[in-house]
Amino acid sequence: MKTSILVLALLAFAEGYRDVRAQLIERSEAAIVRANYEQRLSVPVDPRLQGGPRSAEVGRSWALAATVLPIAVGTRLKHEWAGWLALTGVIVGPAAGNLYAEDFARGLGGIALRTGATILFLETFNTCIYCETSPSEDAPAIASVLGFFGSAIWNIVTIRNSVSEYNRKARQRVQLIRWSMASVRRH
């Protein structure tokens, strides 16, 4: 009888152990799933947020480098495409700061203005080769030069606005992610 009571007690203990063990495993698995889910939520959805805020000084450096380097390389090379490289630096370079801040409207707008001004200037200069007036006396040539330099200055001056707008949007994205994580944790 003592043996049977001991066997029954051991079986009851083992059954209780299995129940407790199953509950512990279930809780730990739920905790692991919850931790993995929260970890996935804690990683920013937008990988650009991992780089932190953008800087106007870095944007200006991009614009300066994207303007000066192609001009320097293009003027030193003796290839037929060297002039195009220099022209690309002059047209695209000032917009590099706006493009760095992902302000495509200002960046591409400046590129379009300088491209149009260059085409207008070349067309004016081409028609005035055989005329008696010089290109400097022609109003379209003056307008194209003013448009060219004005758009380059406009791109460089608006880099700070572009960067501020980018950083504001990035902060809003981070706040939205934090808000959504907090609402998920409450439920």
Q: Domain check: are 57 and 140 in the same one?
A: yes
Rounded to whole angstroms, the Cα distance separating 64 from 26 reads 60
Same domain, 35 and 57: no
Contacts of 6 (CB under 8 A, 6+ apart): none
| pLDDT recorded at residue 43 | 46
Same domain, 20 and 72: no
pLDDT at 21: 53
Residues 129 and 159 placed together within one structural domain of the fold: yes
Helix and strand numbers (H, E) in the chain are 7, 0
**6 part of a folded domain:** yes
Residues 87 and 151 in one domain: yes
C-alpha to C-alpha distance for 179 and 96, rounded to whole angstroms? 33
Residue 48 lies in a domain: no
119, 32: one domain: no
Domain identity same for 94 and 144: yes
Residue 115 and residue 37 in one domain: no
Is residue 94, in this structure, part of any structural domain at all?
Answer: yes
**93 in the same domain as 36:** no
Decide if pLDDT at 20 tops 80: no
**For residues 137-142, average pLDDT:** 73
DSSP codes, 25-52: HHHHHHHHHHHHHHHHHHS-SSGGGGG-
* Domains identified in the chain, total number: 2
Q: Tell whether 17 and 93 lie within a shared domain.
A: no
Whether residue 154 is predicted with pLDDT greater than 90 in this model: the reply is yes
Q: Is residue 149 part of a domain?
A: yes
Tell me which residue range forms the domain holding 165.
53-173
Residue 180 within a domain = no
Q: CB–CB of 70/85 below 8 Å?
A: yes
57 and 103, same domain (yes or no): yes
In a domain, 181, yes or no: no
**Residues 84 and 17 placed together within one structural domain of the fold:** no
Mean pLDDT of 17-31: 55
- Specify if 178 maps to a domain: no
What b/e string do you get for 47-71 counting C-beta neighbours within 10 Å, with b at 16 or more? eeeeeeebebeebbebbeebbeebb
pLDDT at 157: 94
Handedness of CA 144, 146, 147, 148 (dihedral sign): positive
pLDDT reported for residue 122: 83
Q: In this predicted model, what pLDDT tens digit does every residue of 67-96 receive, in sequence order? A: 999 999 888 888 888 888 888 999 999 999
Average pLDDT over residues 164-181: 78
What is the rounded CA–CA span in Å between residue 76 and residue 60? 24
> What pLDDT is stored for residue 131 in this prediction?
61
- Let me know if residue 96 belongs to a domain: yes
pLDDT in tens, 26-47: 665 555 555 555 555 454 445 5
- The answer to whether 87 and 99 have CB atoms below 8 angstroms apart is no
